[in-house]
Amino acid sequence: MRVTLFDYGAGNLHSLAKALEGEGRTVRIEPDPRAALDTDVLVLPGVGAFGAAAARLAPAREAMRAAILGGLPTIGICLGMQLLFDGSDEGAGAGLGVLAGRVTQLRAQRTPQIGWNALEDARDPLFAASGLRTAYYANRYVCRPVDPSCVIAWSTHETDRFAAAVRVARCVGVQFHPEKSSAPGLRFLHEFLREAAAPRATTPPTDR
């Protein structure tokens, strides 16, 4: 299995790459958004700012969106999850538009949210298989989906309840950092990769 981290050029991705390693997997870091699509699994990492990351993916925005909606196994982490949406108050530029909605700042007095937070209503098999019940966050912005049916887990910071994880097609987005969420977080990543290794069914594109 080829696992590719799309590099926005914003930081060190080697800890995430190491967390994704395993028998039968090769992990690479790729700064070219088109070349990043030549893979079995695409990872949108959580390092960087929305505007700069959107600019880096812009040349392949439509191709990446089509690949994800067409069934390419993809996981977006923190900023990577936010890039799955239409846009962000953090910066200019278009997201992938895989999911309808916008990224806004946490409605809380204490921001950014840094540290552990509980996962609520976690209803995806990935959570059951990994035992992930609390996760590590480092975020000031969160996703506001138009259709909350895509949300597979929630968290609450102060009084703001926000989407902790979403899923569409074979794509999962998580606002937390599984690679920093102890052993259950690593199991969550490996369960996603195990699921991604299953034979790919044909997934028709959606209106999004």
| DSSP label at residue 91 | B
Rounded Cα distance, 170 and 30, in Å: 21
- Encoded tokens for 65: 């969106």
**Residue type at 51?**
G
Any long-range contacts for 85-89 (C-beta under 8 Å, 24+ apart)? Answer: 85/143, 85/145, 88/50, 88/51, 88/54, 88/141, 89/141
| Active site residue ranges | 78, 177, 179
What dihedral do alpha carbons 134, 117, 92, 101 form, nearest 10°? 70
Could you tell me if 3 and 20 are in contact, meaning their C-beta atoms sit under 8 angstroms apart? yes
Name which of 39, 37, 32, 35 is nearest 7 in CA terms: 32
Rounded Cα distance, 193 and 197, in Å: 6
- Encoded tokens for 93: 């530029």
